[in-house]
Amino acid sequence: MVIPVQITFRNMSTSGALDAAIRERAAKLDRFHPHIMSCRVAVEAARHRHMKRNVFHVRVDVTVAHGEIVASGDTTAPAPHENIYVAVRDAFDEVRRRLEEHAQRIRGEVKNHSVRRTG
Domains of the chain: 6-107 (3.30.160.100)
What residue ranges of the chain have pLDDT lower than 50?
none
Q: Beta strand 36-46 with 6-10: parallel, antiparallel or unpaired?
A: parallel
> Residue 115's pLDDT is what?
74
Cβ count near 105 (within 10 Å): 13
> Residue 9's pLDDT is what?
93
Residue 3, C-beta contacts closer than 8 angstroms, at least 6 positions apart? 37, 38, 39
Burial 45-59 (b: 16+ CB within 10 A, else e): beeeeeeeebbbbbb
> Residue 32's pLDDT is what?
83
Report how far Cα 41 is from the mean position of its chain's Cα atoms: 8
Tell which residue, 64, 58, 70, has the closest CA to residue 30: 64
Could you give the CA distance from residue 20 to residue 12 in angstroms, rounded to a whole number? 16
Per residue in 42-64, pLDDT (tens digit) is 999 876 656 567 788 999 999 99
pTM: 0.80
